[in-house]
Structure formats: structure tokens, C-alpha cells
Structure 1
Amino acid sequence: MRSDPPLAAELAAHLLRQRDQGAEGLLRRFFRQYPKLGKRDRARIGDLSYFVLRHLRLLGWAEDPATPLENWIEQADLTPLAQRAQTWLAEGAPPPDPALTTAQRLSLPDWLCDALLAERDEAELTALMAALQQPAPVDLRVNRLRTSPTKLQARLARDGVETTPLPGIADGLRLTARRNLRNDSAFADGLYEIQDAGSQLIAPLCGAQAGQTIIDLCAGGGGKALHLAALMGDQGKIIACDVHAHRLDRMRPRLKRAGARSVEIQPLTGGDDDPALTPWRQQADAVLVDAPCSGLGTLRRQPHLTWRLRAEEITRLAALQTQLLARAAQLVKPGGRLVYATCSLLAAENQAQARAFDAAHPDWTPLPTQDLLRHAGMTPPGLWREESVDPWLRAAPQDQSSDGFFAAVWQRSE
């Protein structure tokens, strides 16, 4: 069997080539080629490949300062970088060369470094990247349709899975050690969903109550629709929409496992006048737009995204986000609520979208997310800075040890 650096290099290159897919599925498919590798071997190789991807630019500069970044991104053999990464992991990385630019030091493309600095200073960006370059913990959301946090903790402990409550997050638990739970019996019984702490803050912003109608306009695999069903006690109607039918198909077994019968799946065509949405104009108590975005807040789990994105892709996503917000606003009834959320870290996808909606919709009232979460019993520490005056939610990895999330909420005038 080949040693770790060549396999880690092969895996890193594989992740870079398959730029439109999530890392978790790519890892599973990659390791099927090496059935003799044990669980610890796969974890070790996976960690080394992630280290290469997280520090790709810095490793490439240390290996050969004359080699352009693009050459390393497109390089078929990253073994030299994996070997250097293994040394750094064992002995510690050398102190950064003072000649390095901020983008080189933080291992970012130049355009992305500039974009991230648009609404934060260099010290904050350094802290953010340090957090994003760490492995993510495993967080669970207890399914209150089937159990309680206390009961689930006890059940998992009996199975040898230790957890601690997520501070200020009502139904959140965090594993004390990372492990794969896909074959766990409590998971199979629908007692919980694997959901990042930051993601668990989004659905409560809808203010969902039993008997209401909530539209999840970009439902994807259904994580937040499932959360809404639990918050509503499965009493009401949740319309889970998406233009990608295959994503909605993945939701069906999750709904069955969770015992969520209030969720209706509705495929969309993607047009502004989608006939599936016409009956719901000004009918929804709340509409959630968990918008397609760059996903940069998930870099701890998806380090290949750093090198997949291009500046023009952010422009395209921002235009789509604007369209989705306008479409969603048409569905909210008078006095209802609109929630916009991303797992992005970029102002163009977050603050700029919120400000543009404010300017275009003066009859909508921005709602303070801090008050909304407090009313929902969610009080995670360190989520809002004392000097902050804006109404938005910004979960940051360096503050909450969560993925990065942004959310804005508005209420339609009566």
C-alpha cells in the first residue's frame, strides 16, 4: 500500500477536479477504490488531504515561490505539497515569511482575500481563516418529534457516543470526538439530524407556530424544513420547494425517518411566474430563502471551495439571490415574515443583499434577529458584538465554532 502523502495528494487533486460536488460524498467514493484501508487510515489520509487544500497556496509558495497558484490548482500530482504538509503537521509550520502578501499568508486567492476584507479588517480575517482551517466538530439537532435532548444524550451515551449541549441552542448537541454516525441506530430511528450549530439558528427566525403555512423556497435536502416541522410540532403546512428535483428526492427518506408529515414537497421550474407558486401569493405566514451561495462559511468541511470559486461566480450568485428575494416577497401575506439566509462570508451575498432589499421595499420592516432568537429560546453566547447596530445574524466560526452564516429578516406591512 502506498504511503500517506501520495494517497492524500491523489485525494486532494480529486477534490479539486470535482469542483461542483460536496466533499463528503467525494471522500466516500474515493476510498471505495482502496477497500483495504482501515477507518484510522482513511481518517489520517483525509485529514492530510484537507490540510493540503486549506494551505494550498502557502504550501505551494514554500515548495516553489516561482510556481503560479493556478499551476498548483490544476496540478495532477500534489505529492510534494502533501509531503511538506505531513512535515508541518509533525513539526509545526515555519513562521511566515514577511515578504508574503496577506492572501499568500492566509492561503487565499487574491480576489477572494480582497472580497473578504470588504467588511472586516486584516486581524479579523486572520482570526476567521484560522478558525476555517480547523476541522469542524459534529453537531446534532435533536428531533423533538421523537425525543428530547436529555433522552437522546442518554441513548447515545449507552451506545458509546459522548455529547455535550450546545450553549444557548435549544436542541443542539455536539460530539466530544468526531465520528461517522450514518450507521448509528439513534440516527436510523430519526432521533436527530446532523446539523451544524450555525445552521440550527436559521429556522427559528421564521417564528413558526403550529397551524401556520411556511414556504421553504430553496429547500435542497430538507434540513431546515425538518427543523421547521419540529418547531411547529408537525402541525401546519411546510411547502418545501426547489428547482433541483434530485435534491428534493433525497428529502423523502429523511421526512419518513423523522416522522415529519407536515412537509409537502414541491418541485419548481425556476421561472419568475412558476405556476406551482401562483396559489401561494400573499398566503404564507413566513417564507425562508436559504439561498444558493458560495458556501464559503463551510470551508472547514469543504476546503476545495476556496479554489473552485471565481469572482464572476459571485456576481452570478448575487443576481440569483436578488431574484429569489423578490420572488419570495410576493408569497408573504400581510404581517408575515421573510427570512433570507446564506452560508456565505461575502458582503456581496449578505449585507449588500439586505441593504438592496431595504432600499427596494420601504414598506417592509427589518426585524432584529437577536430579539427573534431570544424569543425562540436561542441565546448562543458571543453571537452579537456589543457595538453592533445592524439587525442581521452573522454566525462566525471564530466566535461560535460553527460554520459561517448570515441571515436577515423582514416583516411585511399589514
Structure 2
Amino acid sequence: MTPAARVQSAIELLDLVIAAARDAGAAADTLIASYFKTRRYAGSKDRRAVRELVYQAIRRAGERPVSGRAAMLGLAQDRPELRDLFDGSAHGPAPLTADEPVAPASPLPLWLAPRLGHVDAAALLERAPLDLRVNRFKTNREQVLTELPGAQPTRLAPEGVRLAEPIIVEQHPLWLNGSIEVQDEGSQLIAIACRVQPGETVVDLCAGAGGKTLALAAEMGGEGKLIASDADRARLSRLPPRAMRAGAANIETRLLDPGRELEALGDLVGVADAVLIDAPCSGTGTWRRNPEARWRLTPERLARLTGLQARLLELGARLVRPRGRLIYAVCSLLDEEGADQAARFLEAQPDWCPVRPFADAGTGRGAGVLLSPGADGTDGFFVARLERPC
């Protein structure tokens, strides 16, 4: 592919990403992979170059651009050499015309910028590292570090490893034998905040595909009752094979019917030693990994999410036994989803008290702690540990 053809491919991909962001479609990495499956003529260097252009343009524009061409012209303001490639050559972009729309540079959507003044906005757009969690059922961190040249232990998570260079994890022998899982250091810390013990009854209320469930199983040493529940059948179905590979035998999955969760969880009311609510959220804390998510979030979607989060907090609290623990977490840096949610819960439930979830990580934020890319080097999370009675 010529340089101009690479730019045109990036424009076409950006159009797909913009449409998907508007219509709640596939993620950018999925769209890129699908795009190149039908374009076998593109070599590995071409694919890397186009992907880099796409993500540079996405990271630059906090607001959703009107088109892929506008997004690429915005990037060309920072990289003037790109403007010369809008020359109308074969397979390249059409020549520039007067008064074309150009995507402005902004790290954050304008409507969200005032609400994120407490975080380092630039850090939200840096490349995220690749972190692994060592599965103590199978091995230990020291052994894994010897098998991954250049890898370093994570600063905060005791079972974490940070890779110096990306690898195809799913093809590595350590992954194939269940010794490692891909998991950001912040996610690992959330499992640690639950303070689970062998023999306890623990509920992962919004388990998804089970990344934190597997971490909890390891913390419990495979002993006790660990229930992983979720309303997403497809995601939850990925957990049993993962658990088998990891050697975690004490996990039970339960599919939930939204609004009727207690039909599946009724036997756990007032029984659980710990309940983890890793609630659905805006994902503002994961923008390093999914920068196009900035284009998906709207005030209306945020309002729906905060309503769901409040309901899940009420549900989770009903499952916790006296002197038990409720851990609320969101991969969000917005107070509406984090500190404000915890505050509203505590106001309505005066017999619950906040307990700091980490001794040496995060920044205090209301009744919980905020982990952030800029301050902690992790994805962004709000985490609160609530206990009763006070």
C-alpha cells in the first residue's frame, strides 16, 4: 500500500468507528480486524501503519468527529506530512477543498471535562500497559518472571506482572496451562480489596466473563462457595472453561434475569461473607484501552447506568450477612458513578460504614478510593468497601 492508500484506509475505518460509536456497534479493534480480513493485499506493515493512524486520530478527538476524513484532517494538523497525501492519487484520499470540517483536538468530551477536573486527562489517552495476573493455583510470580523476558512485577498487586512488550498471550505456554490471566493491575487490586478467606461464601454479582471471579477463587485457595452471576449469558458462558484451565473448582455460575435477580439469588439473602459489585459503568477509567468509548458516552446513557448502579448496590446489600462486606467498584473516574453512589447508599443505609479498601494505593475519594492512570499507573477505578454494622 502507498502512504496515501494507508491514509484512505484509515479514513474508511474511522468512518466505521464513528458509526459504531453512534449506534452502539462493535469496538474499534474488532472493526479493524474485520476490515483487514477482506483486504488480504495489505501486508503486516500496512496493517500496523493504518491501525496507528486510526488510533492517533481517535485519541486526538475527544468529541465524535463528523466523519473519518474530518478526524484524519485533524490529525494532519499535528502531522503536516499527512496533508500532502490528500492528493487524489489512486487509492488515496481526494484532494483538499476549502472549508472542510476538521476535528478539533481535545482530550475529553466537552460535556464531561468539568466532571473530570480531578484527574490527569492526558494520562487517560496514553497507551495502556499489558498486565498479567499470576495464578497461584499453578505457579508463582517469581517463576513467571523467569519465563517472560523483560517483564517486571507490578508495583501494587502482589500477583501482577507488567510486560515490557506486547505478546500474543493466548498462544503463550503460560496462558495455555492456566498459569496467567490478562488482567489490569487495578482489577487485581479490587479482588484483593474483598479480603476473602478460604471457606467463605462470596458472590461476584456482576461477574461478566469472570476475570475477577478467578482472582477471588485464588484468594480463597479453592475453598468455600464462590457464586459468579451476571445477566449476560454469552459473557458468563466464558467463565467455566476459564475456570477449568485455571484449576478453580469452587465456582458456581448463575444467570440472572434483569429486575428479577432474587429468583436466582434468593438462597443467598443475608448469607454472603462478601459481595463484589463490579457494576456496569461508563468505562471512563479504561479510555487508554478504548479511546473511542469517549464518542459513545452520552448524558442519557450515563443516567441509565447510574440508575442501574444504585439498584445493584441495594441488591448486593441484601445478600450480605451481618458483619459481612460489600465491595462496590466501577471502572469510572466520574463521581456520579463512584463517590456519589457510595454516599447515597450510606445515607440510605446508616448501619453501614466505609472501610478503606487499600492501605497504600489510590487516592481517597468520598467513602472510597480512586485509582487512576496518572497517579497509580492502573486503569481508572473507584472502589469502596462497606461493612455492617458500624
> Is TM (by shorter chain) over 0.5?
yes
Distance 1:391 1:241 in 2: 26
How many residues align structurally? Answer: 366
2:213 & 2:195 partners in 1: Cα distance?
A: 13
User: Equivalent residues in 2 for 1:68-217 (5 A)?
Assistant: 72-74=65-67, 78-84=71-77, 86-87=79-80, 106-117=106-117, 120=118, 125=119, 128-157=120-149, 162-217=150-205
Q: What is residue 98 of structure 1 aligned with on the other side?
A: none
The reply on whether 1:48 has 2:53 as its aligned counterpart is yes
Q: 1:213 to 1:37 in 2, by over 3 A?
A: farther
The aligned residue for residue 399 of structure 1 is: 375
Q: Deviations over 1:53-100 (max 9, x none)?
A: 11125xxxxxxxxxxx66x2455774434544554899xxxxxxxxxx
Matches of 1:241 and 1:389, distance apart in 2: 28
Q: Which moved more, 1:165-174 or 1:76-85?
A: 76-85
Could you state the TM-score of these two structures normalised by the residue count of structure 2? 0.87
CA contact (8 A) 2:13 2:68 kept: no
**Match status 1:283 vs 2:299:** no
- Conserved? CA contact 2:194–2:276, under 8 Å: yes
Which residue in 2 is equivalent to 1:314? 302
1:52–1:85 CA contact under 8 A, matched in 2: no
Shift of 1:36: 4.2
Matches of 1:216 and 1:23 in 2, distance apart?
Answer: 29
Distance 1:307 1:273, change over 3 A: closer
Q: CA deviation at 1:146?
A: 0.6
Q: Write the letter of the residue equivalent to 1:326.
A: E
Structure 2: gaps spanning 5 or more residues? 84-103
Q: Is the 8 A contact 2:61 2:106 kept in 1?
A: no
**In the TM superposition, what whole-angstrom CA distance separates every residue of 1:16-38 from its partner, at most 9, and x where no partner exists?**
22233444433333332233444
> Residue 300 in 1 paired to residue 292 in 2?
no
Partner of 2:212: 224
Report the AA paired with residue 371 of structure 2: A
CA shift at 1:224, angstroms? 0.3
Give the AA of the match of 1:176.
A
Question: Do the aligned partners of 2:343 and 2:367 also contact (CA within 8 Å) in 1?
Answer: no
- Measure the CA separation in 1 of the matches of 2:122 and 2:217: 35
Contact 1:217–1:240 (CA under 8 A) maintained in structure 2: yes
Asked if structure 2 preserves the Cα contact closer than 8 Å seen for 1:6 and 1:82, the reply is no
Paired residue type of 2:34: R
Q: Shift in Å at residue 188 of structure 1?
A: 1.3
Q: In structure 2, how many angstroms separate the alpha carbons of the residues matched to 1:87 and 1:401?
A: 32
Q: TM-score, normalised by structure 1?
A: 0.82
Corresponding residue of 2:319:
331
Residue of structure 2 equivalent to 1:94: none
| Alignment-derived partner of residue 26 in structure 1 | 31
Matched residues in 2 for 1:87 and 1:199: separation?
A: 39
Amino acid at match of 1:229: A
Offset, 1:180: 2.8
Mark the CA change 1:40 to 1:221 in structure 2 (over 3 Å): closer, same or farther.
farther
Q: Distance in 1 between matches of 2:138 and 2:75?
A: 45
Counterpart in the other structure of 2:231: 243
Q: Which amino acid aligns with 2:389?
A: S
Identity of aligned residues (%): 38
Say what the alpha-carbon RMSD is for the aligned residues: 2.4
Deviations 1:303-328 (A, max 9, x none): 11111111111111001000000000
1:374 aligns with none
Distance 1:306 1:398 in 2: 18
